[in-house]
Amino acid sequence: MLLAAWLLSACSQMNDVEKVQQERVLHVITRATPVSYYVEQDVAEGFEYELAEKFSQDLGVSLRVRVAESLDELIEVTTQGYTSLALVGMDAPVTDTERADLNYSRPFLNFSSVVIYRKGKSRPETVEELPGRHLVVPESSPAVAYLASLREGQLTELEWQAIEDAETPELLALVDRGEVDLAIVSSIEFAMYNRLFPKLRKAFDLIPDQSVSWVFPGGPDTSLLEAANAFLERAEADGTLPYLRERYFGHVEDFDYVGARTFIRHLGDRLPKYREVFEEAGAKHSIDWRLLAAIGYQESHWRPYARSPTGVRGLMMLTLDTAREVGVKNRLDPVQSIRGGAEYFARVRARLPDEIQEPHRSWMALAAYNVGYGHLMDARRITDGEGLDPNIWQNVKKHLPLLQKREWYSQTRYGYARGWEPVHYVQNIRRYYDVLVQKMPPLQTASTDELADAQDANLPLSPDLPEVL
């Protein structure tokens, strides 16, 4: 009894950081959102999740995640002190003035709440033009409180529909189908999903300059909050936060309306012809078939007879030398082209130094697929010489364009290269890949017999003249 009393007394004297480290677990509650946490192919991912995982490593403990069904559940668990911290993403509450029973970390991601309309419909330009329109918004959005304040002011006729547990794609689909006039979503999620709804446009920023923070239980013990703030400050300084922002959101800007509409159309009328071949090639080389399909679309828009003045041909646009290297006898045969492109990409990826980890490994392999392995290595050497980690794609992509400048390429082994091209190449493929991930389910693991059957399959050639290498 004395020992138990002593242990209880010792525990009561520990601060929150010491309690977490004694238990060796950082408890986190979150919701399944594109920014906070999601599971893709049985792997947990998400900007906030990955950041929280690094925080747990910084504390020397493991991370344990609980997924809440609603924002109310998440806040209730946090205020009651049943979790170490909460990942609320872009949901309310967002300021400590609104919730004195919660503590907030320093912000680490900025966004705006934006008003979305459909191209061809009347575009509102100010809040004064919102009354009289069918407006939808997620019930958990900070925009709900803002709209209420507008109605309490001069916009007494302003109305909106707050939808419980609404996902951003659902709201955007309502606007896209013309079932509602406007939707309010976060700028980040709109950028992520705009390619699925290419007719949608941003009307204006409803609430600019918002930010995402971690939420902690309120109370006098702020040791874990202070540790988190110190960690976030270091993560900003050492490049961890910039890397995560680039990884999850760095490729969703520069939306191309015409290109996106064309891509969405080709998902239905072109990809089905070649999907099984992409799946078979991906399974053979342990590559997500959707990434191979994204490469194929970037190269040829899934046109098996594409050709360029520089001599590359076929759906995967292989050079003559590359085709011979991977055993492709006819670059205009889409099956051979896809299999050859997958083989070549797998070889390039495997050739990269072991210290380059995913996803950087795939992005650098794509750059090498486009500009050549030697030029990628030159860019990595420049990156290293500038004092940055050459195993991080974010760093290398900043230095690839230097291969176009004489003062830089004159010092390299492989000389001049159009360094901007692989940067845009990788950027585009990542965009196409994002859409494919959102639209297409992952491939189930194929059996050996299924792979053999797939490899025996073939697609008919076009009446175009065949090419024999």
Which amino acids are annotated catalytic?
Answer: 299
Question: What is the rounded distance in angstroms from the CA atom of residue 174 to the CA atom of residue 379?
Answer: 45
Q: Would you state the structure tokens that stand for residue 129, as one six-digit string? A: 């033009």
Helices 47-59 and 223-237: crossing angle in degrees, nearest 10, is 110
Distance of CA 14 to the CA centre of its chain: 39
- Neighbour-count burial for 300-323, b at 16+ CB within 10 Å, e otherwise: bebbbbbbeeeebbbbbbbeeebb
CB-based contacts of 10, cutoff 8 Å, min separation 6: none
> Does the N-terminal peptide bond of residue 359 adopt cis geometry, omega within 30 degrees of 0?
yes
Length of the chain: 469
Helices (H), 216-256: 223-237, 240-249
Helices (H), 319-392: 320-325, 334-351, 360-371, 373-385
On the 0-12 / 13-18 / 19+ scale of CB atoms within 10 A, 41 is: exposed
199, 116 Cβ separation under 8 angstroms: no
Place of tokens 């872009």: 90
End-to-end CA distance of the chain: 85
Distance of CA 134 to the CA centre of its chain: 30
- What SS3 class is residue 104? strand
- What SS3 class is residue 305? coil
Residue type, 379: A
- What SS3 class is residue 395? helix
